[in-house]
Chains A and B, each alone.
Chain A
Amino acid sequence: MLDDFLVRATVASVGVALAAAPLGCFIVWRRMAYFGDATAHAAVLGVALSLTLSTPIFAGVLVVCLFMAITVSSLSGRGFTMDTLLGVMSHTSLAIGLVAVSFLSGIRIDLMSYLFGDILAVGKTDLLVIALGVMTVLALMAWRWSGILLSTLNPDLALASGIDPKREQLVLTVSLAIVVAVAIKVVGVLLIAAMLIVPAATARPFSKTPEMMAFIAAILGVSACLSGLRASYVFDTPTGPTIVCVSALLFILVNLAHKLIPFLRPPLVDKGA
Chain B
Amino acid sequence: MLVECENLSVILRRRKILKNISLSVNSGEIVTIIGPNGSGKSTLFKSIIGAVPCTSGVIKKKSGLRIGYVPQKLHIDEALPITVKRFMNLPSGHSHLAIKEALENAGASGLETEQLMELSGGQFQRVLLARALLGRPDLLLLDEATQGLDHRGSAEFYRQISRVRDKLGCGIVMISHELHVVMRQTDRVICLNGNICCQGKPETVSGSPEYYALFGLDRDNESAIYLHRNHNQIQRAQEMTHAG
Contacts and interface: CB of A to CB of B under 8 A. Distances in A.
Interface in B14-67: 46, 49-51, 67
Nearest to A201: B79
A32 B91 CA distance: 22
B82 A209 contact: yes
A158 B91 contact: yes
Contacts of B115: 208
- Secondary structure at the A interface, as helix, strand, loop or mixed, is helix
A158 B71 CA distance: 11
B148 to A, nearest CB: 16
Nearest to A31: B77
Nearest to B78: A204
Given A159-B50, A159-B51, A160-B49, A153 B90 contact: yes
Contact of B81 (A155, A161, A204): A204
Given A159-B49, A208-B115, A152 B80 contact: yes
A207 B80 CA distance: 9
Contacts of A212: 81
B172 to A, nearest CB: 14
B116 to A, nearest CB: 9
Nearest to A213: B81
7 contacts: A146-B91, A152-B80, A156-B46, A159-B50, A204-B81, A209-B81, A209-B82
Interface in A1-45: 28-29, 31
A232 B87 CA distance: 42
Nearest to A149: B90
Contacts of A149: 90-91
Nearest to B135: A161
Contacts of B79: 28-29, 31, 204
